[in-house]
Structure 1
Amino acid sequence: MRVVSLVPSLTEAVAASAPGVLVGATDWCSHPADLDVVRIGGTKNPKTERIVRLAPDLVLANEEENREPDLAALREAGLEVLVTEVRDVPGAFRELERVVTACGAPARPRWLDEAEAAWSRLPVHRARTTAVVPVWRRPWMVLGRDTFAGDVLARLGVDNVYAAHPERYPRIPLQELWDAAPDLVVLPDEPYRFTADDGPEAFAGTPCALVSGRHLTWYGPSLTEAPDIIGAALRAARR
């Protein structure tokens, strides 16, 4: 089995579940750190000719991460493309099992059982916190409806102010974000790398939680530790 992954989350999952099958991955596939495969460009601009030359048995993609024209070009070249769709935590578990099975994993990986167990143990959060969740600035963009990261936060007691917005990643002027008066602003370090010096100053007076984008937005082995890591960042911001 030869696999190319166009999704950092899936790269991490396959590397942990079926070692040796990955032959290509994007430039953004940073986990595991010692992954030694051909790099095929970005998630939005993969080098399709390079992928075709690798002659993979399967290309892994995601309906949100990757562009349909690129996937169509790969299919036209005769490659099989598995496209995942992940909008919530249970959906992530279902898709991850589908992916690792398709990649020839000999058994259901232990980390997947551990991740499901970690999320099933979460308490019911009766005291809720409202938040806006910027994912980009210049222009400001936030989490809207039906996002995996939004579901992660909801399960940790945080209600996204823009969860009912008609767009999944709406552009919202900064003044409108202020007017929403959230209890909290959640600032991930990807896809835009918000830091203590780039983000919180725009929301002076509102608690800001700087969180790991990998644990907030990736679905893979990072799901095992995500409840604890994201939960700790949220608790620190609320103090």
Structure 2
Amino acid sequence: MKIISLVPSITETLFDFGLTADEVIGRTKFCIHPLNLVRNVEIIGGTKNLNIEKIKSLQPDLIIANKEENEKLQVEELMKYFKVWVTDIETLEDNQNFISELGSLLNKEISAQNFNQKINSVFNDIKVSLPKKIAYLIWKNPYMTVGSDTFINEVLQKSGFENLFKNRKRYPEISVEELKEADLIFLSSEPFPFQQKHIDELQKEMPTKEIILVDGEAFSWFGTHLMKVDNYLKDLSLKYSV
């Protein structure tokens, strides 16, 4: 089966299942894991700026997209010509189902079970009595955070933190004044590449607030990536939770 992946975490998951560059024949420019394998796969644009003609020329048997990551109109255009699986993952249960379904599709059910067991163990081992309120920033100018109906919110919660903006939806804009209600502020490495200078900017307005940079992939990449960040999430929870 020849597959094109339109999402970085899906590409990584396909290779984790043991597929080769002869089977994963197309990927986005943001698909960076695993480096030694993705470098041999054709780039078909960005997640939100697909090269439709390039995809057509590759003649895939299946295209795997994501409701949030990819543009609806582009996905619908691809559906006219190819079989497209549009994933929709907001929770860890959704992620478990995705891995199981992909395992069935690839005739690799045992691998899927093993992946899900490893991911479940990551969060089963995290025990927190009193979660800290976290403001998780994904964008600057304007500052944007995550609401309750996002995968990031789910990973935060399962990692022993409470999302300060859990009563909001999607990716709301917020003010610095609202950030002052947080116990701790996480600046994500993606999609906006927050750096130390951005901590310094916020620290001037909130000198006593603890602000740290966090690995955005650990919180936002679904699929098998979660089983690779177990120590990172556990250490973060242990260090910053009560």
Q: CA deviation at 1:129?
A: 0.5
Letter in 1 for 2:199: G
Secondary structure of 2:109 counterpart: coil
Q: Which residue of 1 aligns with 2:173?
A: 171
Secondary structure of 1:190 counterpart: coil
Is 1:154 aligned to residue 173 of structure 2?
no
Q: Which residue of 1 aligns with 2:231?
A: 228
CA distance in 2 between counterparts of 1:220 and 1:200 reads 34
Q: Which residue of 2 aligns with 1:67?
A: 71
- Give the TM-score of the pair, scaled to structure 2: 0.89
**188-197 or 128-137, larger mean C-alpha shift:** 188-197
- Alignment check: 8 A CA contact 1:149 1:216 kept: yes
CA distance in 2 between counterparts of 1:94 and 1:28 reads 24
Letter in 1 for 2:28: T
For the aligned residue pairs, the C-alpha RMSD in angstroms reads: 1.9
CA distance in 1 between counterparts of 2:5 and 2:159 reads 29
* Greater fraction helix: 2
- Alignment check: 8 A CA contact 1:143 1:169 kept: yes
Counterparts in 2 of 1:234 and 1:205: CA distance versus 1, 3 Å? farther
Letter in 2 for 1:199: I
Of 66, 83, 90, 1:80 maps to 83
Q: Which residue of 2 aligns with 1:202?
A: 202
Q: CA deviation at 1:13?
A: 0.3
Of 89, 92, 97, 2:100 maps to 97
C-alpha offsets along residues 143-177 of structure 1, whole Å, 9 cap, x if unaligned?
11211111111112211111111x31001122332
Q: How does 1:113-152 map to 2 (within 5 A)?
A: 113-123=117-127, 125-152=128-155
Secondary structure of 2:35 counterpart: coil
Structure 2: runs of 5 or more not aligned:
none
CA distance in 1 between counterparts of 2:126 and 2:237 reads 15
Counterparts in 2 of 1:199 and 1:51: CA distance versus 1, 3 Å? farther
Secondary structure of 1:141 counterpart: coil
**Aligned-residue identity in percent:** 28
CA distance in 1 between counterparts of 2:191 and 2:237 reads 19
CA distance in 1 between counterparts of 2:136 and 2:55 reads 34
- Give the TM-score of the pair, scaled to structure 1: 0.90
CA distance in 2 between counterparts of 1:70 and 1:147 reads 22
Q: Which residue of 1 aligns with 2:15?
A: 15
Letter in 2 for 1:215: A
Q: CA deviation at 1:138?
A: 1.1
CA distance in 2 between counterparts of 1:113 and 1:238 reads 24
Letter in 1 for 2:35: A
**145-154 or 111-120, larger mean C-alpha shift:** 111-120
C-alpha offsets along residues 190-238 of structure 1, whole Å, 9 cap, x if unaligned?
1111122223531432112321111111012321133420232354456
Is 1:26 aligned to residue 28 of structure 2?
yes
- Alignment check: 8 A CA contact 1:209 1:234 kept: no
Structure 1: runs of 5 or more not aligned:
none
C-alpha offsets along residues 103-124 of structure 1, whole Å, 9 cap, x if unaligned?
x24333233332233333333x
Secondary structure of 1:136 counterpart: coil
